[in-house]
Amino acid sequence: MGTHTITIDESTVHVRVVRDGTVLAESRRPLLLRETGCPDRYYLPADDVRTELLEPSDSSTYCPFKGDASYWSVPGAKDLVWAYLEPKDEVAAIKGLFCFYDTEVVG
């Protein structure tokens, strides 16, 4: 069985999340999380996310490597975004940062 690794790096890539023509998030300072067997994910600071457009969801998931994830939805897209509010120590850098399924790299 292979080793499971997670790396988290600061990034200056410009990322944006657009849903139905509305910009939900835009950041030039995301954290890039790479995890064995998973797609690369960008975690965005709350200041770069239009959190007023997000509705808290009652969904949650557990990752043995990252901890419990909380979810938010927008109209027509349930559980579009998630965050680890109390992540495991190994991934403490992502605490409270938002991650979207469809993050577009602008540049």
**What was the pLDDT predicted at 73?**
97
pTM for this one? Answer: 0.94
Q: What share of the chain in percent tops pLDDT 90?
A: 93
User: Two tokens at 78?
Assistant: 């349930």
CA angle 18–22–26, rounded 5-degree value: 50
Q: Return the domain boundaries, the chain.
A: 6-105
**What was the pLDDT predicted at 1?**
57
CA angle 42–21–14, rounded 5-degree value: 30
Tens of pLDDT along 53-72? 999 999 999 999 999 999 99
Q: Which architecture does CATH list for 6-105?
A: Beta Complex (2.170)
Tens of pLDDT along 4-29? 999 999 999 999 999 999 999 999 99
Residue in this structure with the two tokens 């557990």, named with its chain if needed? 62
Which residues neighbour 83 within 8 Å (Cβ) at sequence distance 6 or greater? 43, 69, 70, 72, 94, 96, 97, 98, 99
Per-residue confidence band for 2, with pLDDT thresholds at 50, 70 and 90: confident
